């Protein structure tokens, strides 16, 4: 007997007039807020200046939104947006790419490290990516609420039937459900939350991990993008042209991040720990430990 879950959750939390508050936007903002709180404590504990967390938060928000939007338009729907350039700015209509968001963050952190902290980009990355795993998990739950980015049909008992005609349904049309499909949004969210928990535990219990610059972001890249690469095998193609590809766009874009993660881990383990001004006691303790 076929068993499945019919997913009928509405993507909007509430609507007042023309103002619609959606779960996706709420979870996106909530993830950034909690991530900001966690990241701020880590930076200030590591001798960072009081102003650094607020400035970093601004750079990350701007970099993520711009990068994610441009990434979606360029990687997935350039045939359409190349003829409708002004619609690129309509972020509220949806269409964000996690790979583009990551590239946007990289640019933002490069500017931030060069002109604000004057510390290594890797130092900033290592603190930024820990809460980012949690934020990515919240975003995937937002995709679940939007009935989007789900997997191929499945006979497993936890298969979800998503509403395909979402916009028509919201305006009163009868719902058209998908076949029972893999809830890949949940699969990814769980893996992303697990990546966050593992990295945070390493940060709290293994002091030298945060001194080996690049180690944390290397682990993050593998945890996030290897997950993405593997789950893409059971995820429906986001665009029709991907049906003829050996690997889809999401997988091809994940490979460079996975390779970068491996290289970063190897280099971080070969280099000596890095200590900045104000970390003299910690540096002395490290030197005594290796004598």
**CB 134 within 8 Å of CB 34:** yes
For residue 104, is it within any domain?
Answer: yes
- Residue-by-residue pLDDT tens, the chain, 291 positions: 457 899 999 998 888 877 788 898 899 889 989 998 998 998 888 878 889 999 998 888 888 888 888 888 887 777 778 777 777 776 666 677 777 888 888 899 999 999 998 888 999 889 889 999 999 999 999 999 999 989 999 999 999 999 988 878 877 788 888 999 999 999 999 999 999 999 999 998 888 888 899 999 999 999 999 999 999 999 988 777 777 888 888 899 899 999 999 999 999 999 888 888 777 777 777 777 776
The encoded tokens of residue 2 equal 């076929």
**Length, in residues, of the chain:** 291
Residue range(s) defining the domain that contains residue 82: 5-274
For residue 284, is it within any domain?
Answer: no
Q: What are phi and psi of 177, to 5 degrees?
A: -95, 150
**CB 61 within 8 Å of CB 33:** no
The closest of 189, 180, 209 to 268, measured between CA atoms, is 209
For residue 280, is it within any domain?
Answer: no
**CB 52 within 8 Å of CB 61:** no
For residue 99, is it within any domain?
Answer: yes
pLDDT at 49: 87
pLDDT at 91: 67
Alpha-carbon distance of 35 to 128, in angstroms, equals 9
**CB 253 within 8 Å of CB 76:** no
The packing angle between helices 23-45 and 121-145, to 10°, is 160
**CB 11 within 8 Å of CB 22:** yes
The DSSP string of 52-87 is HHHHHHHHHHHHHHHHHHHHHHHHT-HHHHTT-GGG
**CB 161 within 8 Å of CB 7:** yes
pLDDT at 94: 63
The encoded tokens of residue 124 equal 């900033």
pLDDT at 92: 62
pLDDT at 215: 95
Alpha-carbon distance of 67 to 199, in angstroms, equals 24
For residue 290, is it within any domain?
Answer: no
Q: How many domains does the structure of the chain reveal?
A: 1
For residue 128, is it within any domain?
Answer: yes
């Amino acid at each position: 007997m076929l068993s499945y879950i019919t997913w009928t959750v509405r993507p909007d939390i509430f609507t007042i007039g023309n103002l619609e508050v959606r779960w996706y936007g709420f979870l996106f903002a909530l993830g950034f807020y909690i991530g900001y709180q966690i990241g701020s404590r880590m930076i200030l504990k590591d001798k960072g200046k009081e102003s650094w967390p607020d400035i970093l938060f601004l750079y990350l928000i701007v970099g993520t939104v711009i990068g994610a939007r441009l990434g979606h338009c360029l990687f997935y729907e350039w045939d359409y947006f190349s003829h409708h350039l002004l619609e690129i700015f309509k972020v509220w209509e949806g269409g964000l790419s996690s790979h583009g968001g990551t590239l946007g963050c990289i640019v933002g952190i490069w500017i931030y490290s060069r002109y604000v902290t004057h510390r290594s980009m890797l130092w900033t990355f290592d603190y930024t990516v820990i809460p980012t795993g949690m934020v990515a998990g919240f975003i995937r739950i937002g995709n679940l609420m939007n009935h989007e980015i789900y997997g191929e049909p499945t006979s497993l008992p936890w298969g979800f039937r998503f509403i395909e005609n979402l916009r028509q349904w919201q305006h009163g049309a009868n719902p058209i459900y998908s076949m029972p499909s893999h809830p890949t949004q949940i699969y990814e969210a769980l893996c992303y939350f697990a990546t966050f928990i593992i990295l945070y535990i390493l940060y709290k219990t293994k002091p030298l991990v945060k001194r080996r610059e690049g180690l944390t972001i290397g682990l993050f890249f593998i945890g996030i993008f290897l997950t993405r690469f593997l789950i893409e095998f059971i995820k429906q193609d986001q665009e029709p042209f991907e049906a003829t590809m050996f690997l889809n766009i999401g997988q091809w874009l994940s490979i460079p991040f996975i390779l970068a993660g491996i290289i970063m881990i190897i280099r971080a383990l070969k280099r000596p720990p890095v200590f900045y001004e104000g970390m003299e006691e910690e540096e002395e303790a490290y030197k005594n430990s290796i004598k």
